[in-house]
Structure 1
């Protein structure tokens, strides 16, 4: 396959990441470049690369001790169907700073089957979870 997954921030291609999130994703449509940069600066980020070009991405918002939130997982369309999202998730779960987390959340409307293979399941007690959600935040 020739895919390498790395958490080295120096390898991340902001043009690829912002381009996908702002233009192709359904969850961050229209997100400004500076918002993506701030989110990445304050997260543990993973890139998937083939021949030096970024083809996938995943971001974990975490305190690296008790909690993590997996976000912004994507594989560019031309590289889908090759197991790259699986490699990204496995790299995330193997990362030394994410071992022993008490709670590791994510939200997905389209990839629940992938994440279920790695132990994610619907909230055990959804009644205790709350959120403040502004779905149009980037379109204002």
Structure 2
């Protein structure tokens, strides 16, 4: 059974960085220092089986009005066992994420995971704007420290 914790001292930062930098479609090439800083300034959820981290989710929030869910993943060897649903249930039940006016996320392929938790396409998409730099970390690969 997946155990979910928000204790950042339990997070396996090496594994999180390796997945994001090498396997994710959204943060490929991300420097470790950026991952560390993002964890430091976010509400993080680690999913653990037998003491080993197999899942992760991060929420950027002011804990009052807004939250943005990012970096959600389950390691490939542990997918298809309901871990992403348990991880999302823990995220949605967290006391700091109750009563928010807006809770956002971006996904290209996991709509079926998020819809049961109340996520829908934006009601007024014309009101949303963004600055988006896909491939940002890959373009800086020459600046990446060696692992």
TM-score computed with the length of structure 2 as normaliser: 0.93
Residues of 2 paired with 1:20 and 1:47: CA distance? 13
Residue in structure 2 matched with residue 137 of structure 1 by the alignment: 136
Which deviations, in whole Å up to 9, do the C-alpha atoms of 1:65-110 show, x marking residues without a partner?
0000000000000000001110111000000111100000000001
Residue correspondence of structure 1 range 1-140 to structure 2 within 5 A: 2-140=1-139
Distance 2:36 2:64 in 1: 23
Q: Which runs of 5+ in 2 are unaligned?
A: 140-147
Runs of 4+ in structure 1 over 6 Å off: none
- The alpha carbon displacement at 1:113 in A equals 0.7
Aligned-residue Cα RMSD (Å) equals 0.5
Instruction: List gaps (5 residues or longer) in structure 1.
Output: none
- Rounded to whole Å, the distance in 2 between the matches of 1:83 and 1:136 is 30
Q: 3-state SS of the aligned residue for 2:28?
A: coil
- Could you tell me how far apart the structure 2 residues matched to 1:56 and 1:40 are? 14
- Tell whether the 8 Å contact from 2:17 to 2:32 is kept in structure 1 after alignment: yes
The whole-number CA distance in structure 2 between the counterparts of 1:3 and 1:36 is: 23
Cα-to-partner distance string for 1:2-26 (whole Å, 9 max, x where unaligned): 2100101110000110010000000
